[in-house]
Amino acid sequence: MTSSEETSPESLDPIAGPSPEAVPGAEPESNLQTGSDRETEPARQTGSDPAAEPNLESHPDPEAEPDAESCAGPESRVPQQSAGPSKDGAPVAAVAPSRAVAHILAWSIAALSAFAYVLYSQLQWRTFATPSWDLGIFTELAKQYSQFDAPTVDIKGPEFNLLGDHFHPLLVLLGPVYKLFPSGLTLLVLQDLLFALGSVPITLLAVKRLGKSLGAVVGIGYAMSWGLWSAVESQFHEIAFAVPLLAYGLARWLDTKGNSRSALVAVGLLVFVKEDLGLTVCAVGLVFLWQAWGAAARTDDRFAIRSRASLKKALSSPQGKAGARLAAWGLAWTLLAILVILPIFNPEGGWEYTNRLAQNDAVASNFLLRFFLPATKYATLLLLALATGLVGLVSPYVWIMLPTLFWRFAGNVEHYWGWHWHYSAILVPIAAIALIDACSRWRGTYRARLAAACVALVSNVGVAWFGPIGQLVDGRTPFSVTEEQAQAGRDAVEALGTGHNVVANLPMLAYNVPGNRVYWEGTYGKAKIDAVIFAPSNSTGGLPADVWAEQKFGGRWKLVYSRLNYQVAVRQ
């Protein structure tokens, strides 16, 4: 599953170019030019001034030779040529950014996006905006791990072990963080930082392959994408760890032409984030193998036709072996998780989400027909295509989206089909990598590449504007509550205190996990409850919280807090 990582000082830096001789199908060393040689090659080919007519065409073979900008190592003192537009629209030469400039640009985009994400999450937390129960569930999981306990989450059901819900052992990393900052807000901020961190390898690769300006457009488009913003709005989910792992793994693999152990490790870790991501890992491995197969075919056949002989040759190469092993690793862990591990911990002895793939006659009676209905799925596909700048659709990396799209479109849950929620976050780095890969190999002009990058940027930000970004800018719902209402919620949490077995409705779950054993109003079962807390809702059917509790749990109850429809009652 691994290949040797390069060890030269230049190769350890994400901006440095890989060793060409390590690339399958690379030209002989005598045919490779240094950064300074490449700078003058257009003049040798055309007999004209390279500054007037720079070589705008990338090498058509991605495995054989990187594009002109990516070939210049940091040791080169001669400015690299890349194409940019002049005032009259004609391309002119531009100096490629240094490693320092690329890093400053990448980390600046990450810092600004992290600030925006965290600001949004803090506003959600302050206004008790809670779109789902996931934050409460994962806050309880983090608390259990911080105490070195099994991840039993009563919100899901009394004594429910969350390893029977999804296979996500990597979430044990939440324990130490929660121990330092015991709050549901901690998980929101952590996810925000992980999403922002994922933009760094994407931007570095984009700057290296496409130049500073285009790289910045791609980086900003990635960080402000609707897929990530929808996940931020949906609050914490385990894919928070998957996004930066996949972003780094794919970017590093593409940057090193398949000569990176750390890229394989990053992608391989996805199997411990969620059980379905093993299929994504399998798809990544198959794409890596496909690329190695193409490289082998080019050395054997002038028409680059993939044959059984070239496949055998590819499987003997380090890149081909790595891809095959990665594919097997991902598939094995998905099967192991669904067929063995999840049934062990699930109280019903199976995989809980089998029914999400069951027949749904309301959508279509035919299983295959369900992949094409309703029209919401086409809108999702269109947005993903736009996120690749459209040109990214020709990149083999776009195939990595297929497993996620398959289970989403096969599912009978409407939330799976559209662009809302967190389900598309894992597809965002794939779209960005496909865009970079296609643009860096494309025989198009600078303007054409700029157009592709702008398509991705405008579509990503435009869609997000009608959701979280727009909310953040103009204070629309869910931030339209008054400070008095928000203060009433905080006072209710303080009035409850700690040490209770408490039933809460959706908005109050995560806030009361520290110090209490929390149950959701719909899953408390036969638990012994001694307190209830409610945010404004119809949970009690219009009854005071103490009267509702007496009817549900018996005994005598006292209403200890009631203001602006926030209520707290405790057993006497």
Phi, psi of 519 (to 5 degrees): -125, 145
- pLDDT score at 83: 43
* Poorest-pLDDT segment among 31-35, 105-109, 466-470, 496-500: 31-35
Phi, psi of 498 (to 5 degrees): -130, 170
Distance CA 463, CA 457 (A): 10
% residues pLDDT > 70 (the chain): 81
| pLDDT tops 70 at residue 64 | no
- pLDDT score at 266: 98
- pLDDT score at 452: 95
* Poorest-pLDDT segment among 228-232, 280-284, 349-353, 534-538: 349-353
Confidence of residue 76 (pLDDT cuts 50, 70, 90): very low
With contact defined as beta carbons under 8 Å apart, do 444 and 421 qualify? Answer: no
- pLDDT score at 58: 40
- pLDDT score at 472: 85
Does 542 or 28 have the greater pLDDT score? 542
| pLDDT tops 50 at residue 75 | no
Mean per-residue pLDDT, 433-439: 96
Length of the chain: 572
- pLDDT score at 359: 54
One-letter amino acid of 96: A
Phi, psi of 456 (to 5 degrees): -65, -45
| pLDDT tops 90 at residue 344 | yes
E strand or H helix that includes residue 82: strand 81-85
Mean per-residue pLDDT, 489-498: 96
| pLDDT tops 90 at residue 17 | no
Residue 49: Cβ within 10 Å count: 11
H helices of 258-387, where?
A: 261-268, 277-300, 308-315, 318-336, 342-345, 376-387
Does 217 or 303 have the greater pLDDT score? 217
What pTM value is reported for the model? 0.82
Confidence of residue 449 (pLDDT cuts 50, 70, 90): very high
343: exposed, middle or buried (C-beta count within 10 Å: 0-12, 13-18, 19+)? middle
Nearest by Cα to 360 from 417, 278, 280, 419: 417
- pLDDT score at 529: 95
- pLDDT score at 8: 36
One-letter amino acid of 89: G
Sequence ranges of the domains in the chain: 20-99, 112-266+335-474, 483-571
Q: pLDDT (tens digit, 9 = 90+) per residue, 348-401?
A: 888 878 776 655 555 556 667 777 788 899 999 999 999 999 999 999 999 999
Mean per-residue pLDDT, 402-406: 95
Average pLDDT of the residues of the chain: 83
Task: Kindly calculate the radius of gyration of the chain based on its CA atoms and give it in whole angstroms.
Answer: 26
| pLDDT tops 80 at residue 549 | yes
542: Cα within 13 Å, side-chain hemisphere? 0
With contact defined as beta carbons under 8 Å apart, do 63 and 258 qualify? Answer: yes
One-letter amino acid of 519: Y
398-403 contacts: CB < 8 A, separation 24 or more? Answer: 398/430, 398/431, 398/434, 399/283, 399/286, 399/287, 400/250, 400/280, 400/283, 400/284, 400/287, 400/430, 401/427, 401/430, 401/431, 402/283, 403/276, 403/279, 403/280, 403/282, 403/283
| pLDDT tops 80 at residue 63 | no
| pLDDT tops 50 at residue 5 | no
Mean per-residue pLDDT, 504-508: 94
Torsion of CA 553, 558, 562, 566, to 10 degrees: -30
| pLDDT tops 90 at residue 7 | no
* Poorest-pLDDT segment among 11-25, 241-255, 356-370: 11-25
Confidence of residue 26 (pLDDT cuts 50, 70, 90): very low
| pLDDT tops 80 at residue 518 | yes
- pLDDT score at 423: 94
Distance CA 344, CA 554 (A): 35
| pLDDT tops 50 at residue 473 | yes
Q: CA 513 → CA 143, 255, 279, 453, 506, distances in Å?
A: 8, 43, 33, 44, 12
With contact defined as beta carbons under 8 Å apart, do 552 and 505 qualify? Answer: no
Mean per-residue pLDDT, 332-351: 93
